Structures are given as structure tokens and as C-alpha cells.
Homo-oligomer: A and B are copies of this chain.
Amino acid sequence: MPLPNRWLTACLVRYEGHTLLIDCGEGTQITMRRTGWSFKSIDCICFTHFHGDHIGGLPGMLLTIGNSGRTEPLLLVGPKGLRRIAEGLLMIAPDLPFPIEYHEIESPDEVLSICGVRVLPFRADHRVTCYGYRVELDRLPKFDPERAKEQNIPLPYWKHLQQGETITDGDRTYTPDMVLGSPRKGLIFCYCTDSRPKNTIIEGARDADLFICEGMYGDPEKQKSAKEKKHMTYVEAARIAKEAEVKELWLTHYSPSVVNPSEHLELAQQIFPNTQVCRDRRETTLRFLDE
């Protein structure tokens, strides 16, 4: 339920000029305008599930993206039924200047290549079919120019080898391992709402640099409500973060009854110290190690 100073939960991931939006409740486009982020570069919107607070802003968002001058296709990803529901909502946005493509998740083992990153949906446990999303960005191994020179590899091939390609030139073959160092850790981001705790979430969040997870209630006395409504408490989210060995946990998607999200935060921090609360428009930049 959108409150005057706490709007509906959504998440925007940007990478090299591409924008991936996860969920789009009522007001998401207004928040985006406040932050100044580009509408035109939204290539994909992933939906966790089809409750109104996660998809109600779709028609307005697409109309605004249309006004931004986008003509390239836009991909919608979500549980089965996505096309039917989106087409219902889009009755009020019939003349978009860009085509919409749909990808309905058939199984939780899918790996999607979107916006230059890998997107891996995983099953959550809510009142309706719901997915969390793991986003992975690889980091290329370090290129060693000294080794390339020693082996007399022509300069024009360096870039291709660095990208992992194999080059054949006459009877000579150049392979990436000739010039690349050992594998380097990439970046992992994980987003999960709405759900009860579930092992699939632990796997989806495994080793994440940032894990954004719902925490409907901070007060442990609300444990019963959380269970009934198929949501989580802060403490439950912190246990997942600990188990998954993530670096940082951000809590979000608070109940309207939670007036001050920082209350009871320390209970979660006792389990997973790097637990933080989200406020509207919170942002961060994830960087490769030592970058």
C-alpha cells in the first residue's frame, strides 16, 4: 500500500547504458522522474508476481517510456500469465511506439541474457506464483600484455582474446588462455519479494554482493502475521542473508503498520551484522573487487 512517504517497492538495475526494472507498482515512474533516471533505456521489466502493488504502474510506465522516444522492443519477464495480465492492463495504452516482447518463466532453472547481464529467476513462496531474481555480471580475467608480446600475438587480436574469443590466423591459433590470467570474481545481485523463507532464496542469494529482501515486519511479535500473509520478518531475512553468505542485506517492502523501519533492526543485525533498511530512492554502485 503506497504511503505518502513510502512508496511501493521496485528496483532498478543499470549496467552500461541498459536499464532493467524489477517490479513496477503505482508511482514507480514518478519516483524515476525524481531521480532523473532515463526512461528510454529501460530494456526489460521483470515482475516478481502479479499483485497490484508490483505491477499496477505498468501501463503508465510504458506510456511514459513511449513518450521518451523509445522505438526498440521492450521485454517483459514474469510468471506464467504475464501476457494475459499485461494485455489487460495495456487496454489503456493501446498505441505504444515500441513493440513489447514477453517471456513467461516456465521453470526456475532458466538463465536469461538481458541488458548485458545474466538474470536467473528462482522460486519464492508467496500466496501466488512468485519469483526472485539473481543477477550475475561476469568479470573477464586480467589481460597480460607482456605475455601477448612474448608470444608475438598481433595487436589487433588482443581485444578479441581478452573477450574470450579464439582467433585462427593461417596455421596459427590464438586462445584466450595464452594471454588471460586466472578467473576473477564478478558481481552478484539478488532481489526477493514477496516471500516466506525458502531454500531456493538462499541459493538465489548465494554470495551476493547485495541482497535486497522483503522484511514485512521488524517486530518479532508479528511473526504469526508474516506467516499467515506469506511474508517475512527482518530476522527471517537476516537468516537467509547469513546462510547465503551475502555481503550486504537491504530490507524493504515494509508493512504500513511499520512506522519506523529502523525499529527492531538490531535483532536482524545480531544475526547478520550488515543488515540495513531501505528508504525510498536509496541507491548504490556495485564495483568489482579492487576497482
Within the oligomer, what is the number of copies of this chain?
2
| Known contacts A88-B88, A92-B51: A59-B56 contact under CB 8 Å | yes
> Are A50 and B92 in touch, CB under 8 angstroms?
yes
> Are A4 and B33 in touch, CB under 8 angstroms?
yes
Q: Which residues of B contact A63 (CB under 8 A)?
A: 1, 52-53, 56
Is A267's beta carbon under 8 Å from chain B? Answer: no
Q: Which residues of B contact A88 (CB under 8 A)?
A: 87-92
Is A223's beta carbon under 8 Å from chain B? Answer: no
> Are A30 and B33 in touch, CB under 8 angstroms?
no
Q: Which residues of B contact A29 (CB under 8 A)?
A: 2, 26
Q: Which residues of B contact A1 (CB under 8 A)?
A: 63-64, 67
The contact sample of 21 A-B pairs, CB cut-off 8 A, is: A2-B29, A2-B30, A2-B60, A4-B30, A4-B33, A26-B26, A26-B27, A26-B29, A26-B56, A51-B92, A52-B92, A53-B60, A53-B63, A56-B57, A56-B92, A59-B89, A84-B91, A85-B91, A87-B88, A88-B90, A89-B92
Q: Interface residues, chain A, CB within 8 Å of chain B?
A: 1-4, 7, 25-27, 29-30, 33-34, 50-53, 55-57, 59-60, 63-64, 67, 84-85, 87-93
